[in-house]
Amino acid sequence: MQIFAPAKTTASSFEKYESLIKDAIDAVHKREHYTPFPEMPSPADYGEGAEAAQKSAFEAQLGNKFERLLQSSNSWMESDEESPYTGKALKISYPVFSDVESYIAASQKANEKWKLADAKTRAGLLVETLHQLKSHFYELAFATMHTTGQSYLMSFQASGPHAADRALESIALGYSELTRFADKISWEKPAGKFNLKLEKFGMNIGRGLALAIGCSTFPTWNTLPGVYASLITGNAVIVKPHPKAIYPIALVIGVIQSVLKGNGFDPNLVLLASDKSDSQITKKLAEHPAVKIIDFTGSNSFGNYVEGLPGKVVFTEKAGVNSIIIDSIDDVEAMAKNIAFSISLYSGQMCTAPQNIYVPESGIAAKDGNVSFDDVKKAIVEQTRGLVEHPKAGHAVAGAIQSKATMERVLKAKDIGGKVLLENKAISNPEFPDAHTQSPIIIELNRDSRSLVKGEMFGPIVFIIPTKDTNESLELASKAAREHGAITCSAYTQNEDTMHKIALEMAEAGTPVSFNLTGGVYVNQNAGFSDFHVTGGNPAGNASFTNPEFIVKRFVRVQSRIFVK
């Protein structure tokens, strides 16, 4: 007797990508470098003439309806999107439903078939979406650039290859967890003259409808891990993007919907729920009883609200205070160059960007002897000034300021208190003379003015803080992580015991440490398949891209039994 018959596997997609999926699972466990998506915009990898063609597609999209979505929405809404480079509105309209209940109903109906599909079917089709997305990476770059203010290269990498890496990571780990245990078991237990026999069968059941709430700075990189984690585990997803950054994630959803429809699934399985800044539907969606899973990236206040919603499985990434601890280093100039790049990259608008730099007031040990506190801060200031004033590198590294709130925060930073070591100023961009730009402001805070800074100061705002010694630096950095959250920490020390002490203390504060970065690796960067992004161990977030908990909390394993006579 067979009472459990899972949906038939759509074998073709899984067989097509089976080797890649196995490689990805292997990479997830080994944590070594792995990617099937080259990160540089090369014609050899992404097609001769593709960049020009997709730039034309981007330009043609401006001012028009985004008609590549296949969802059954019944009206159109012009977005609030505005380019940080030109200052002009994108004037793109997106399909929307008239009310929240329509989103819920369409998603639930679409999930009826998907939730019955087995892990192979889901994994194969989801990997197919990523490979079709490759042919849109250039358009994604332009869309991201002109909604977030990221530079072109950063936009290409973050919204294209790196976001696809993180999505594939979710698929791989999801497939691994879904297939960890046998679906069918013949169980037999000796019981004297006869044996007890049971046939057991297991089912993986998704928690229910998922809501992914996007942010304005990384609309695909931060959103895709949760979207794909929910999909692989059998849950329909409503994506509620930030009102100022819809275009990039709309591109992705359009590709997903196309693959779903082409393989017999309802494209409403993944819905774009756009709204406007003055009439957001986020809370209505989040509070709806049908929504069981929520992924959120954004502010502490809204993240705390989401985490407090009853009856929801919630994954958050919020704000934090990231620190740099300087104890000792061989090459002060190389260290200062690395720090300058880290605090200037995307104008500090990254959740991983450093904010507080702790330096012993007695100076630090270096290869050529002691380097004074004044010389350390001078090196950081001069390297930062040299970078942002470089006619080619400055604007390319810094990009543009995404929001008016961030711009206002930077412009007012000089009034916080402390001693301004490097004033912020507009960065010239010859291609976009109207770009909204500001270089980092660096402020020294002495012992009496430390209390002026509480929590994250999002944007290119940096504080150099003298301390009694490295022990006090570590104490302040770990305290900030525990109280306000932290996603990264950078430390410079040539002493192995000090390194272990910093690593342990910050780990207990739920914060990973990058030691002695002086080359082409920066504390801001996280690598898919290797680095865990956020730990969930402090107020900066309760989840991690991508550990098993990020997957297994989205479904339940139900095992039933049949008595065999």
The rounded percent of the chain whose pLDDT value lies above 90 is: 94
The pLDDT value recorded for residue 22 is 97
**Per-residue confidence band for 11, with pLDDT thresholds at 50, 70 and 90:** low
User: What pLDDT, on the 0 to 100 scale, is given for residue 452?
Assistant: 83
Q: What is the pLDDT of residues 48-76, one digit of tens each?
A: 999 999 999 999 999 999 999 999 998 99
Number of helices followed by number of strands (H, E) in the chain: 19, 19
Q: What are the C-alpha distances in Å from 195 to residues 189, 559, 563, 564, 565?
A: 5, 21, 12, 10, 10
Q: Where in the chain is the domain with CATH 3.40.605.10?
A: 11-318+543-564
H helix intervals, 263-345:
282-287, 300-307, 332-344
User: What is the structure's pLDDT at 192?
Assistant: 87
- Left (φ > 0), alpha (ψ -120 to 50) or beta: where does 534 sit? left
In the structure, what pLDDT confidence band is assigned to residue 81 with cuts at 50, 70 and 90?
very high
Q: Looking at residue 312, what is its pLDDT?
A: 98
Amino acid in the structure at residue 560:
S
Q: What is the pLDDT of residues 393-439, one digit of tens each?
A: 999 999 999 999 999 999 999 999 999 999 999 999 999 999 999 99
Report the distance separating Cα 356 and Cα 409, nearest Å: 16
| Residue 289 CB neighbour total at 10 angstroms | 11
pLDDT tens figures, 209-233: 999 999 999 999 999 999 999 999 9
pLDDT in tens, 538-551: 999 999 999 999 99
Intervals of CATH 3.40.309.10 along the chain: 323-515
* DSSP per-residue letters across 43-84: HHHH-TTHHHHHHHHHHHHTTSB-TT--S---EEEE---B-T
pLDDT at 10: 52
- Look over the chain and give the mean of its residue pLDDT values, rounded to a whole number: 95
Q: Which helix (H) or strand (E) holds 119?
A: helix 119-133
Q: Return the residue matching tokens 């920066």.
A: 522
- Residue 515 CA to residue 184 CA, distance in Å, equals 48
DSSP 173-231: HHHHHHTSS-SEEEEEEEETTEEEEEEEEEEEEE-SEEEEE--SS-TTTTTHHHHHHHH
Confidence check: pLDDT of 3 > 50: no
Cis geometry, peptide bond prior to residue 217 (ω within 30 degrees of 0): no
pLDDT, tens digit, for every residue of 481-500? 999 999 999 999 999 999 99
Residue 8 clears pLDDT 80, i.e. is over it: no
How do residues 352-374 score in pLDDT, each as one tens digit?
999 999 999 999 999 888 999 99
Q: What is the pLDDT of residue 5?
A: 43
The CATH architecture that domain 11-318+543-564 belongs to is: 3-Layer(aba) Sandwich (3.40)
Exposed, middle or buried: residue 162 (CB in 10 Å: 0-12, 13-18, 19+)?
buried
pLDDT tens digits, 267-307: 999 999 999 999 999 999 999 999 999 999 999 999 999 99
| pLDDT at 299 (0 to 100) | 93
Is the model's pTM score more than 0.85?
Answer: yes
Tokens (6 digits) for 125: 């089709």
Decide if pLDDT at 9 tops 80: no
Q: What is the pLDDT of residue 2?
A: 42
What is the predicted pLDDT for the residue at 367?
Answer: 86
Residue 2 burial (C-beta neighbours within 10 Å; 0-12, 13-18, 19+): exposed
**In whole angstroms, what is the distance from residue 401 CA to residue 44 CA?**
32
Q: State the fold for domain 323-515.
A: Aldehyde Dehydrogenase; Chain A, domain 2 (3.40.309)
Give yes or no for residue 78 having a pLDDT over 60.
Answer: yes
